Structure 1
Amino acid sequence: MTTGVFQRIHSVLTALPISERKIAQYILEYPHEVLNQSAQQLGQSTNTSGAAVVRLCKSLGLKGLPDLKVRLAGDLAKNTPTPLGYRDIEPEDKIESIIDKTLQNHIQVIEDTASLLDLAKLKQALYLLNQAETIHVFGVGASGIVAQDAQHKFLRLNKHATAFTDTHMIAMLLANANSSDLLFGISYSGETKEVIDLLILAKKYGLNTIGLSKFGFRTIDNHVDVSLKVSGEYEAVFRSAATASRMAQLFCIDVLFFSLISQDYEPMIKHIDHTRQAVKYLKDRTYK
């Protein structure tokens, strides 16, 4: 991706060390000036240092200042210096307003997530998914719904997949799993104890692991081979409904699903057709 600096900064701004936060805020306020500055000059402009600039790039998941500048230029070309913000519903909102707010929130979280997805890590995840004999997907709460959606998609591609919600069931599966199996842990916060515990257990048994969480460094990152990230800020007050986070996670699962199809197109399309025919058979059945 060649955009995403603004979104990355907003996602981690409050968690950054003071020196890095000063540089990040400067980038948000004076993006055009940053394009023409070296690390040392940017450090001087923010009363920090060139080393702090390098650390900020690392905190943002970027390769360095040149990478930041390329993405920053992309953001400026799109003319989106700051996110529009997620809109919450209000008491007595008209249904037309709710439709508009829901639409805008879903569009924005998908755009934000698209700007954050790391192509190299996506390719690594696809490699592991292709190599896996069985894919065990696990999440809690709303992330559990995403896990079930992932299982559904993997099954359609003739990949063995599970999505149990009981941690003991998953633990037993891992205990008897083959070394070629994979655990895909989904936790929007990246801190869900049940997900992290199972990922640690999976590594104990020698399985490959993939994690899916919001942008920024999370505990889950310590226990996975590949860490995929989605948009992590600007949830509206009704966070309990997990609407924006769920849409972001589902978008990432869809990207993986279509990428798997594209890599082995003809066989995958046949698998999808076979599953469609099987479901159609059940729908067409009539009983007297």
Structure 2
Amino acid sequence: LFISGSATPGERFSLPNAVDPDVGINTIKTYKLSVSEHFTIEIQTGSDGTQYVDLVLTKSLDREEKAVHNLILTAVDGGVPVRSGTANIIVRVQDTNDNPPRFDKQTYTINMTENSPIGALVMKLNATDLDEGLNSEIVYSFTLYTSEKTQDVFAMNPNTGEITVKGTIDYEDMKFYEMHIEARDKGAHPLLGQCKVVVHVTDMNDNYPEITIQSVKNTVDENIPVGSVIALVGISDRDTGENGKVSLSIHQRISFYSAGMTPIYTFVFIFFS
């Protein structure tokens, strides 16, 4: 007997009648059902005295909690001695789309180096759905909260949940990316679950130091005082951390003094000596 998981208490399901070749008092008198918290029976008598039995749902079903209910229906006659016969009733609960897909985390955080190759796997998401059939098949996608810039860099496989690189990851352009992901089932009335993936970009030493020179004096007099500033040299590197630290050396025999440093520029004053 197949019963929908969305069936409501009070619904009735006809059961086959037992057959007793005896007549009169010796024929079937009543029916009994094995103990069940979800079902009971109701017996009705037709105009010809035939008894009909209905299985009545008394408590809502949950396929994920219990997919099969095994019941025993007993038919009892009115003879002496009393005789009875039994029938096994197997109730299979049909799935309804009552469970949304679920991720095991609300937020996933990972680190990736910039300039990761196209096609590189970022991560594989796996949402689970306790339903079955189409109600449990999941399609993954970015939600509207995922920026176009992020979607230009990352691709989502709708069937496998794999996120891969499809554009250039540049630390100097974006320090981190946020992807808002939706897992939607294929039920007639789809349910969905959501999560967020945060990708922190790790800087690589992919930028050369840049040098700018500003001359303080276009020409140098032969009697210029020692210690006079001749030029101002600016050094910059777009990388960060150790990758962004720079040093300057001058091959000519001339003294120089590092006067100060900022996170972006190192200033070097070139002195005459």
TM more than 0.5: no
TM-score, normalising length: structure 1: 0.18
Structure with the greater alpha carbon radius of gyration:
2
Higher relative contact order (CA closer than 8 Å, sequence separation 6+): 1
Relative to its length, the structure with more helix (as a share) is: 1
TM-score, normalising length: structure 2: 0.18
